[in-house]
Structure 1
């Protein structure tokens, strides 16, 4: 075939009330897209893509992420996909004949920038697939662009459930376990606690809103006796630790559900420990076990929090040990959660192109639906019904060992066990 490149630049399966999704605002995304007036890729680029077939020419991936906005996660993520890319091309590329190339762009943590660079990648760089993004609102913006321009998009990190459910589309697939999935994993442990009075703290955008909503719903289903007595909604990256901790303590909760991460998490931990907020209180916390957030706190890392995370140095399966060895040899540092996400993302993109035997959008999308790949964490399948991958997460408790934060007593929660059945998600997705 000839490839002509364009020359133009489970947990119990609960019911899923529509009201929960309706409560989440997507006005920011809609406003951003409408404001910059992007509706379709140039006709010449679209036409060229439609006729593209293989002749050994490189296949190109347009990669977008918040490298300046959240480097703690995205730099390891970039190193992960770079390692995968090198392995893919060393093994003959995609379909054994074509080099896989990546054109990467920084979205600066802004949806409008993400859509602008997506447009550039399609129109000027002639990419065949889009991949990446970190923040949920940015992932949603790129997913909308992908749907309108009929471009395959593998969303690596954004955790919003909307990207595969209420705002799902034919062209968008997501790798990481969603807010619903990780909330469900944590609820299994939270329901065992004697705590009845709960407080929550989460960043005030789609990811935080969705995580809190699901945690509350799922915990109440398992424990009707619980009540939520306080909520704190700091702006992402702008948490005022003193007032936040004071407000949480004033509510006198028995336990706290935390969704903050990065610098906000570190400030919350430091201020909370100083004021005794966590004394004799259990904390259940999304993402806190990931080394990019836990390790920088060193011996100030919290003890005994129930978390999702990535205990990279304790996973002894052959596939994972091989990944760690290759990553540390290549980059002279230990992997982070972002590293494994970037690595699996690029492997999934390559597997889909090889399965499709085409650089055209429609065959790649068809190949992604139901695709199963082997990964360092085990087999991962992109479900055909909602395009959500079955990648799981590690659930355990935090501790300090040898002067650094880590996880203990962990288990791998297979994502396939924390997803609603196909008939439920089909009702939540828009008609296509």
Structure 2
């Protein structure tokens, strides 16, 4: 689902472009114009997630503006300036620089891939600009590479892996295989799984590990190597087109039969919809069963999203809404777009979101946003989640002592 790169002066939500004058280190003139936020993401390469995410941000932005904008700043409206980050660290840093210097945005948000998020986090630290990382999952972003200017919204790799370990440890499966994309996110997820399972299951062992290149999996060779090791459990970290190819080949060869499968992200509609009737049943997954969450605030969100876009929400849609809600709460508390004021406001900020209350932990700049954990099932010719529950991220975060040790440098 490729999309065209927006023009340099693309304006979201019908607002007039109103560049603001740079007023010192990280601070922009407040005036009465829109509060411009630079949002860079993998809109072309990861469109299945990023486009619904952008849609929801536009919807939430319009709702904030219709309700009177940021009241602590005299009713100034929000204006997201969307850019494609090129899905590479070099391109992303160039785009981030452009957003700060040419578009005069108040701060940066976004990114998808972990290596890209790390690069933009380092850039934000050098430029002393706030960066709200929304999607990248790498633990390093808020641990060893953490800095005063970078905050993260989604539950990190450690948190989501720990949720899966808690869900499968009672099964007592000891012999596991791991398959993960060969870049920072996949390597981190594999390391977390080995660490957490070793603590939870006596006799745990990994009989084989496969790390195919991101977006270039040889499904036949990967499935063959996993099957040859004859594991009793499989920890899967693949997503997107790699996941679809892997599942198809695995189904054909019976890889998943009579095996426990724990799988990161597979329950997210972005990745389950392409599987269709090939969705394996009984996998323990993290995901987003949007059609079965019955809280009033979530039902209202789904109704508004479907009415606006004539489509069902994805996990990206939920995240985009949470991000705007968090930004609104931050700005109302800060009463300013000066960088240090926004950082102070965001630290330990509690936000009421469509997913429930979320706190941005000041210790490591990691939010407590959770995720749904359940099992995959077929509903007709489409995959779904069953036996699920929402896991509050606050229960699965890195221990404080570990955070302090990782961030002390």
Normalised-by-shorter TM-score class? over 0.9
1:418 to 396, 404, 407: 396
| 2:24 alignment counterpart | 47
Q: Secondary structure at the match of 1:298?
A: helix
1:281 to 243, 259, 273: 259
Distance in 1 separating the partners of 2:25 and 2:227: 60
Report 1 or 2 for greater relative contact order, CA contacts < 8 Å, sequence distance ≥ 6. Answer: 1
Residue 163 in structure 1 maps to residue 141 in structure 2: yes
Distance in 2 separating the partners of 1:168 and 1:309: 26
Distance in 2 separating the partners of 1:80 and 1:422: 33
Q: Secondary structure at the match of 1:374?
A: strand
Residue 79 in structure 1 maps to residue 79 in structure 2: no
Q: 1:430 to 1:114 in 2, by over 3 A?
A: farther
Shift of 1:194: 3.2
Shift of 1:342: 1.0
| 1:384 alignment counterpart | 362
Distance in 1 separating the partners of 2:75 and 2:258: 60
Shift of 1:49: 4.3
Matches of residues 209-248 of structure 1 in structure 2 within 5 Å?
209-248=187-226
| 2:177 alignment counterpart | 199
1:403 to 376, 381, 397: 381
Distance in 2 separating the partners of 1:227 and 1:298: 33
Shift of 1:108: 1.9
Distance in 2 separating the partners of 1:406 and 1:49: 45
Residue 252 in structure 1 maps to residue 230 in structure 2: yes
1:24-58 C-alpha deviation (Å, 9 max, x unpaired): xxxxxxxxxxxxxxxxxxxxx462744x4533222
2:315 to 337, 340, 364: 337
Write out the 4+ residue segments of structure 1 that deviate beyond 6 Å after TM superposition. Answer: none
1:238-272 C-alpha deviation (Å, 9 max, x unpaired): 11100000000000100100000010000010000
Q: 1:198 to 1:46 in 2, by over 3 A?
A: farther
2:44 to 65, 68, 90: 68
Distance in 1 separating the partners of 2:401 and 2:291: 39
5+ residue gaps, structure 2? 1-17
| 2:353 alignment counterpart | 375
C-alpha RMSD of matched pairs (Å): 1.4
1:100 to 70, 78, 91: 78
Distance in 2 separating the partners of 1:46 and 1:260: 44
Contact between 2:159 and 2:398, CA under 8 Å: does it hold in 1? no
Contact between 2:26 and 2:129, CA under 8 Å: does it hold in 1? no
Distance in 1 separating the partners of 2:118 and 2:328: 23
| 1:113 alignment counterpart | 91
1:115-173 C-alpha deviation (Å, 9 max, x unpaired): 00000000000000100111000000110111111111111100001101110011111
Shift of 1:290: 0.3
Report the count of equivalent residues. Answer: 390
Distance in 1 separating the partners of 2:301 and 2:130: 27
Contact between 2:157 and 2:188, CA under 8 Å: does it hold in 1? yes
Distance in 1 separating the partners of 2:60 and 2:85: 22
2:325 to 336, 347, 353: 347
Deviation larger for 167-176 or 95-104:
95-104
Distance in 2 separating the partners of 1:218 and 1:172: 26
5+ residue gaps, structure 1? 8-44
Distance in 1 separating the partners of 2:407 and 2:309: 40
Shift of 1:5: 6.5
| 1:91 alignment counterpart | 67
Shift of 1:422: 3.0
Contact between 1:53 and 1:358, CA under 8 Å: does it hold in 2? no
Instruction: Report the TM-score, using the length of structure 1 for normalisation.
Output: 0.88
Q: Secondary structure at the match of 1:364?
A: helix
Contact between 1:6 and 1:49, CA under 8 Å: does it hold in 2? no
2:276 to 295, 298, 301: 298
Shift of 1:215: 0.8
Shift of 1:302: 1.0
| 1:20 alignment counterpart | none
Q: Secondary structure at the match of 1:308?
A: strand
